[in-house]
Amino acid sequence: MLPLPRHQTQQGYLTHLTLLGVAVVTLLLSSGCKRESKVDIATREKILLLGNGAEPKALDPHLVSSTGDSNILRAMFEGLVTNHPSDDTIHEPGVAERWESNEDFSEWRFFLRKNAKWSNGDPVTAHDFVYSYNRILHPEMAGPYSSMLYFLKNGEKFNQGKIKDFAEVGVKAVNDFELLCTLESPTPFFPDVVKHTTWLPVHQPTIEKYGGMTDTFTDWQKPGNSVSNGPFELTDWRINAYVKVRRNPHYWDAENVKPNGINFYPIDNAFTEEKAFRNGLLHASYILPANLIPLYREREDPALRMEPYNGVYFYRCNTNQPPTDNADFRRALAYAINRETIVNFITKGNQQPAFGFTPPTKGGYVPPEVVSYDPEKARAFLKKAGYESGADVPEFTVIFNTSDDHKSIAVSIQDMWKKTLGIENVKIENQEWKVYMATVDEMRYDVSRLAWIGDYVDPTTFLGMWRTGDSNNRTGWGNSDFDRLYKESFFISEPKERYATLQEAESILLEELPILPVYWYTRVYLLHPDVENWNPLLLDNHPYKHIDLKAKAGGDGK
């Protein structure tokens, strides 16, 4: 997930809440232990209360790229294929009740269920998906995650304005309930791809009631105007306070939806969120502050969850300007980072030091072991870059979205560069999430912190973003050999050979290092005992309709 990107993750948080947010949290935290907590009431009413990171950028699947935003969208909308409650590799039927491919996986047919409806009662048809894919790929839309649809034949060319007629793009409504997708190359994992929020449909009459197809941030996203096709529909959205969704009575599987609704809270401070959980205000936190993890582990608190997570924490370098335009300088920075120190003394959540970019998977892809902590090699690369000492390096800045954990990591790496390389002129700067995203999008940075969460279980979800000109690249880096190898991998059916080709491509990325890998993620958060059917998932995409709430004796989240 983005680029908290099924996507890019909004694990960072703002330090200041609005007055409304403060009032809400203060009121909630004042509840006495002897009183019935907010969670107790919500469990009885079957309303799931979730911490969800920063305030959502939008509630439009074609305008977002972060994990927090996607969490809300997966509750409101449903794609062709959806997520299994306990196994990332199993494909659950969504709007499509079945699908099939041709022999080489370059063409896929999805057969839509005839009882799928929008929240206003309109039928969901194949034409809705054609319209939606046209919308996100349209050059005037400037969708931040449009590259996810480059799997479609001519999708990239249409998005970049090289062809004008969307009819040439590889998607067609054969009839109202059959959708044909023709791909650029064989893609046996395509059902995994279409689970992503960028492939969700939107309701054309609603979009165009409040503007044109490519108009952004219009009133269609507001409660009372929004029309969606998932298990839940939008009922309330108060900026910096909450987003509320409730059961969609027109959803095709409404009788099997367990919760009556979900409240998503953008609690911007991780410590405030942890307090909210302890005081019975949340069923699940979004994260847990790193310095509280040892306390929860020491007391063996059953609420603590530390689970494998398909994501990587890294720094991105702007290769269009000095000093980070110099590959040897970037190598010096990379080899001067002691990743063991970071995961053992800062993050503390069983994270793994990243020796590559793509997280390794059991029985699957393993990235080349290239990046390591090697002070001698780091100093040699610094001299090769033209600097006799770190004192000669011009000033540059590391930016990150506001978070105590991000700041701790940045301070640590700043100190490592100083001690290992003698670099004194490194500044660190935190920015509120939306400001940070704009700064990165416009490439007004030297080094920026980022995390990437896999959109599906395949290494291409990590490597694809580094293709030349990809909308999630934002480094200015590109390499024709990398692009070629990445593309060739799609035409290789034998898994070991395919992985070897992708490893060769990743070796190029790790040799030129437009990015500085730091660690591979785990998912560390708090979960209330009342929550049932919430299982560890590598992608953390929980299908909310399966989540149940049942009061447990003594279960108050404290």
**pLDDT tens digit string along 385-409?**
999 999 999 999 999 998 888 999 9
Which single residue is written with the structure tokens 């791809």? 193
Long-range interactions of 499-504: CB distance < 8 A, separation 24+: 499/364, 499/365, 499/366, 499/459, 502/358, 502/365, 502/459, 502/460, 502/463, 503/365, 503/366, 503/367, 503/368
Q: What is the pLDDT of residue 171?
A: 98
Is the model's pLDDT at 218 over the cut of 50? yes
* C-alpha distance from residue 231 to each of 19, 115, 175, 392 (Å): 32, 13, 25, 58
Give the DSSP letter string of 363-421.
Answer: TS----------HHHHHHHHHHTT-SSGGGSPPEEEEEES-HHHHHHHHHHHHHHHHHH
Helices (H) and strands (E) in the chain, counts: 17, 18
pTM of the model: 0.83
Say what percent of the chain tops pLDDT 70: 93
Task: With cut-offs at 50, 70 and 90, classify the pLDDT of residue 10.
Answer: very low
For residue 58, give the nearest of 246, 207, 204, 161 by alpha carbon.
207
* Residue 472, helix vs strand vs coil: coil
* Residue 255, helix vs strand vs coil: helix
Q: What is the pLDDT of residue 46?
A: 98
Q: What is the pLDDT of residue 34?
A: 54
Relative to beta strand 242-247, strand 304-317 is unpaired
d(CA 344, CA 370): 21
Is the model's pLDDT at 7 over the cut of 90? no
The 10s digit of each residue's pLDDT in 478-499 is 999 999 999 999 988 888 999 9
- And the tokens for 536? 């560890």
Ordered domains of the chain (ranges, CATH): 37-65+72-77+227-304+526-549 (3.40.190.10), 81-209 (3.90.76.10), 306-523 (3.10.105.10)
For residue 430, give the nearest of 399, 472, 456 by alpha carbon.
399
Task: With cut-offs at 50, 70 and 90, classify the pLDDT of residue 554.
Answer: low
Which single residue is written with the structure tokens 């370059």? 106
Q: Are 99 and 112 in contact (CB under 8 A)?
A: no
Is the model's pLDDT at 173 over the cut of 70? yes
How much is the average pLDDT of 24-36? Answer: 50
Residues forming beta bridges with residue 237, ordered by sequence position: 243
Q: Are 221 and 58 in contact (CB under 8 A)?
A: yes
